[in-house]
Structure 1
Amino acid sequence: MILKQMRMMNMVKQNNKVLLGLSGGVDSTAAALLLEEKGYNVTGYFFDVTGNNDKTRKEAEETARQLGIELICENVSELFKDVVIDNFCREYIAGRTPNPCIVCNPNIKFRKLIENADKIGAYHIATGHYCRIKYDSDKNRYFVRQGASQEKDQSYMLYRLGQDVLKRLILPLGEIKSKNETRTLARGKKLQNAEKKDSQEICFIESDYASYIKSMGFSSEEGDFVDKAGNILGHHKGILNYTVGQRKGLGIALGKPTFVTEIDADRNRIVLGNNEELFSDTVECEDFFFTAGNVKEYNGMEVMAKVRYSAKPAPARIDVYDKKITTIFKIPQRAATPGQSIVFYNDDTVIGGGFIK
């Protein structure tokens, strides 16, 4: 333990060395450029989550070559399947809609960055996320802050990171105000990925979710569409094909706009209703994580909260219990979906969050 602490202290003193998550996309490329401008000695790290992602790996290798930095490549496909993919499939089978990035970030991506940074003697790690890190001297804690770009802000995705990660994390794109600003950095160095399109889909799925889940050996039986009173309206093709808020692809015509308002996995039922029935001012979450550690200090606190990554933060109050948090919004929120995360903010600072029940 003492030797490990001494090695860590030496790494802190040599704090110009940083391990950067390098995907081959323009965001991580711009992050590398900004780090080098500030005098950091940058090494790239690419992790292959499928074991056969040759195209993306080659893009990362070419980016590293153009940047003139070393690149570490690691196949994490077995760990990724155990931690992320199997969880993703099980959640859908249970009628929930997971966000795999929320699971991957603390358990694989940042864990692997820390492990490999330690191996090469780098204290700092970095990624191309659009958000910021701040240190609160009163709490002696590091927190994630929203990025300068409200449009690109990714603080929601990092709410489950612990102090072991946050104290070593640099987020070079935190002050970037637009994607064009990021691309301009890459264009200035004539880098091949300056115009590369953003990835909009889940990184390990090329087809639709349902087909992918079935290909992984999971299935769900057909069942009934019902209204909120339990009246049978028709038959569904298995709950893994649906998510709360869905309208398209239901395979049923009721003569009016119809949405999935609830998935009852225990009874294998899909509840259908109108758009108004998707709104609620109360959201419960479980398996919560708070950066400050002591969740009880936030009981009754007025916060801003997001029920999904793309949602705008909305004013709410949180009531903390032993195993759940009840969030009461001032304005009802649409389609707060079980399995997704609700994330809480104090001004622009992430204080915690949990998985919607």
Structure 2
Amino acid sequence: MIDNKLRVAMLVEDDFEDNELKLPLNALKEAGADVKIVGPYAGREYKGKRGEVRIKSDLSILESAAEEFDALVIPGGGAPDKLRINSNMVQMVKDMCDQGKPIFAVCHGPQLLIQADLTRGRQMACYASVIKDLENSSGHFINEPVVVDGQFITARQPGDLPQFCAAILHSLNLAGNDIPRYEDQGIDWCEFGQRWGGHKKRDIARALNKSVQIEQKMAKFYQDCLRRVEDDDLRSIFEQAVSAENGHLSALQERAQTLASKRLRASSGGKGPQPEIQTDEPVSIARAAAQTEAIGIDTHKKLMLLTDPITVELVASIIRDHTRLERMFMEFALECEGRPSVMRATPAKAVRSISAGVDRNLMPERTESD
């Protein structure tokens, strides 16, 4: 009896981004595809960089031929950097391309496409740290959750995974009637992320509640500083900071409540910036505020691996606000000290990118993205 299942190869090495393997794998299997894990060696267990996923390879790359597969998936994380120095892996990607078969790559996955010289003139999404590599290979970065260019479908980061998986299923004609198209508006993609093994709504809500606690502490600190500061320029920055914090709190609480099955009780505990100002000297206050913003940035980066596009979009906008305010506080301090600014303008492309600058401590506990 002939097996008519679509055969999909998924390339793997150690340090793959856990959810970037897990969600596409689960979505494809749920839809009836025959997915084979292809690694440098057959039967070896490969570990995700978060330590959450371990998977054994079905085939080695040397026993895998493009002719045997209908599509190829390249998860991100640290694995693509290892895969791209494996000439057999690179050749597999080239062969799949030459045969006109769909190739799906997320986050750092396009590194392998760059190595295979397949990005020239192509529009693609990728992780922020890969943008320059993509452009240097004559590719074009598009800051969208999913980018389709011919046989290539790419995505930027874990927050795009629900839409990325939907795009994979639709491109392979495996999507059921309940799977929206990736470009559809008004979709609660968090539901699909949870369905395919991503973060649960309740857990996302709890993570957001922790961020609310951080923002509350920052807001109180800025209000205290505003009462101390007399310099008009510095007061203006603190007024902007207080306004931003109020907006952040409202948006975070609203999203957390939408996701939670019942109201979450805010706590005054939790880690976060708890600065104390014991001086009225403007430069010292400005420097303390800049440091507080930096701590806030790192704290919020913990949410950037969540598999909920709406939450990731919200948190990214908060990070951009904190980055702008950190720069303003530091510029004020340097000017008062008569020192030249050491700050550099953030490239507009990076500012627009949801994943811009996300390179440390990305999960609700301890993680690294880069």
TM-score normalised by structure 2 residue count: 0.30
TM-score normalised by structure 1 residue count: 0.31
Question: 1 or 2 for the larger relative contact order (CA 8 Å, sep ≥6)?
Answer: 1
Where is the strand percentage greater, Structure 1 or Structure 2? 1
Where is the helix percentage greater, Structure 1 or Structure 2? 2
